[in-house]
Amino acid sequence: MVWRDVIAKTGAYLEAKGVDSPVVAAELLAARLLKTGRGMLGNFVGREADERQLEAMRRAMARLTAGEPVQYVLGEWDFRSLTLKCDRRALIPRPETEGLVSRVLAGLKSGDVVIDVGTGTGAIILSLAQESKTPGVFIGSDVSGDALALAKENAARTGLADKVKFLAMDGLDDFDEPQVLDVIVSNPPYVKAAVCDTLDRSVRDFEPRLALDGGPEGLDFYDRYLGDALNLLKPGGRVYFEIGEDQGPAVRKLMEDYGFGQIAIERDYAGHDRYASATLE
Ligand SMILES: C[S@@+](CC[C@H](N)C(=O)[O-])C[C@H]1O[C@@H](n2cnc3c(N)ncnc32)[C@H](O)[C@@H]1O
């Protein structure tokens, strides 16, 4: 069978099984097996698929129809200019989070010590290390050993292992000295605990709960990290958070209560509150 037919049949099958964006999924799977980009598939669709490739498509289809996200089935996903290994050890990096990186980059100064708390795949800190125009110290931390192992694999595959240090740490608990950080960035777990069980099956059953559950109001980690930031940031240091779309007012209030200045709540491309930042004055 030629690839044109493989893709058409796969798309139709996935659609019948209720998989989201079935044609895109079929094309992404085909592109991965053909070691090309989705946009280049036109050059390959007349070729015969061999039995090994067809078997790989069948296995991938079974995973997709069982509800597994396409990113995990593919095993890698793009974030900004990096292609990151992506599997069930960590949250799938989301496009909104790319905007968090832009905001941190805009404020970076030479020599800044930057920590990404809850680094997951390493998406944020690896992008910062790669794209920063100035030298700095880049640290990714996570309480999950699985996530940290994946982040280290991503550092190695993107050639950034020498630029980023990874720490196994619960929150910011292991710093002994005050005023050691210039920037704290985090996309923390921010889903309300009660909502975690009602999330879409592809998230609820496949992504780590540890990456999602932000406590009763989804605000636990902002409260905790802001409290720690008071002690750990140098004067003038900055915090940058990704937030849930309904959390802007509550996160602003937390920042005010802790005495931070220059507080900004900004929107993502969809027009939802998504980014909170503040400065320790
Ligand atoms: C929403 S995910 C974000 C992952 C990644 N930074 C991203 O944006 O794709 C939150 C991350 O926080 C980590 N995490 C959860 N509890 C933590 C804690 N107490 N200390 C440090 N990291 C924690 C999770 O393991 C997960 O990797």
Give the pLDDT of the chain (281 residues) as one tens digit per residue: 999 999 999 999 999 999 999 999 999 999 999 999 999 999 999 999 999 999 999 999 999 999 999 999 999 999 999 999 999 999 999 999 999 999 999 999 999 999 999 999 999 999 999 999 999 999 999 999 999 999 999 999 999 999 999 999 999 999 999 999 999 999 999 999 999 989 998 899 999 999 999 999 999 999 999 999 999 999 999 999 999 999 999 999 999 999 999 999 999 999 999 999 999 99
Q: Which ligand 1 atom is the nearest neighbour of the CA of 212?
A: 1
Q: What local confidence, expressed as pLDDT, does residue 280 receive? A: 97
Distance from the alpha carbon of residue 211 to the mean position of ligand 1, in angstroms: 5
CATH 3.40.50.150 fits 88-279, yes or no: yes
Radius of gyration of the chain (CA): 20
- Shortest-distance atom of ligand 1 to CA 188: 10
Question: Cα separations (Å) of 126 from 83, 164, 189?
Answer: 11, 7, 19
8-state DSSP, 191: B
pTM for the full predicted model: 0.96
Q: C-alpha angle with apex 154: 131 to 126, nearest 5 degrees?
A: 25
- Which residue is associated with the tokens 């050993």? 145
Question: Would you give the DSSP letter of residue 40?
Answer: G
Distance 166 CA to ligand 1 centre (A): 13
User: Whose CA is closest to atom 2 on ligand 1?
Assistant: 211
Ligand 1 pocket, residues with Cβ under 6 angstroms: 90-91, 93, 97, 117-121, 123-124, 142-144, 147, 170-171, 187-189, 210-211
- 36: CA distance to ligand 1 center in Å? 31
Identify which of 79, 86, 87, 91 to mutate to test ligand 1's pocket (most ligand atoms within 8 A of the CB). Answer: 91
The pLDDT value recorded for residue 33 is 94
Residues 6 or more apart in contact with residue 237 via CB below 8 angstroms: 179, 181, 182, 183, 184, 229, 279, 280
Q: Which atom of ligand 1 is nearest to the CA of 79?
A: 9
pLDDT at 78: 95
Domain map (residue ranges) of the chain? 3-66, 88-279
pLDDT score of 209: 93
pLDDT value for 227: 98
Instruction: Please give the Cα distance from 114 to 54 (Å, whole number).
Output: 45
Residue nearest to ligand 1 atom 11, measured at CA:
118
212 Cα: distance to centroid of ligand 1 (angstroms): 8
Number of helices followed by number of strands (H, E) in the chain: 11, 9
